[in-house]
Amino acid sequence: MIIKSETLINKIYFPEAIIKEGIAKGSSVLDIGCATGSFLKCCDDFGLKTWGIDISEEYLDEAKKVTKAQLTKHDCDKGLGIFANDTFSFISAFDVIEHLESPVGFLRECRRILKPNGKLLLTTPNLNSLGRFLSGKSWHGYGDKTHKYLFTSKSLEFILEVAGFKVVKATAPFHPLPKVVQLFVNNLGLGGQLWMVSQK
């Protein structure tokens, strides 16, 4: 797993996920696959109530140094039964779903623990990316042997709808590019990562 830099989290992931999605201060946020806690730290600083889960004890030990979040070691392939129904206003899962045995089962569990109208943000490698076409078999989505599924925008939207979600935002951004360039190329759907927001 590649840990995203603090700069990337601060300049792109946090503002796109929290500010642009209108997540209010005091809201309850769960970061699934929280790694070393950089995103949760931004959420803490913004005034959110934070929880994080990860499969790696080593990552969680590092996360404890930077975030006030309630952290738990947990394997999402075992469901999300550690959380009650209607608990969170917002769930993020950055580059998680492609590693799971049952993506639809995972999404249904996310929906269960979201509050009414709560939002789920997913990112995952884009199977329809320009990078895949240019790199062929050496594309990073193929190179990670822990990937069990890969998605196009349409296939990810489909399983979200099967799980009961309404997709409210679907993009495939090129990171990092100048803002002016991104306004054009992001609409092509060929960026390296799918960025999808759905609502309960």
| pLDDT number for residue 189 | 67
DSSP string, 11-80: IIIHIIIIITTTPPTT-EEEEET-TTSHHHHHHHHHT-EEEEEES-HHHHHHHTTT--SEEEE--GGG-S
Every domain of the chain and the residues it spans: 6-199
pLDDT at residue 173, as a whole number: 74
Q: At 176, is the pLDDT very low, low, confident or very high (cuts 50, 70, 90)?
A: low
Mean pLDDT of the 90-118 span: 97
pLDDT of residue 137: 83
Percent of the chain with pLDDT over 70: 90
Q: Using 50, 70 and 90 to split pLDDT, how confident is the model at 193? A: confident
pTM greater than 0.95 (yes/no): no
Q: Measure the CA–CA gap between 57 and 41, rounded to whole angstroms.
A: 18
Across the range 183-187, mean pLDDT stands at 62
- pLDDT, greater one: 172 or 91: 91
CATH hierarchy code of domain 6-199:
3.40.50.150
Burial class (CB in 10 A: 0-12, 13-18, 19+), 53: buried
Percent of the chain scoring above 90 in pLDDT: 72
pLDDT in tens, 156-166: 999 999 999 99
Q: Say what the pLDDT of residue 81 is.
A: 97
| pLDDT tens track for 2-47 | 667 788 888 888 999 999 999 999 999 999 999 999 999 999 999 9
The pLDDT of residue 130 is 75
Question: What type of residue is 135?
Answer: S
> What tokens appear for 200 in the block?
């309960």
pLDDT for 178: 58
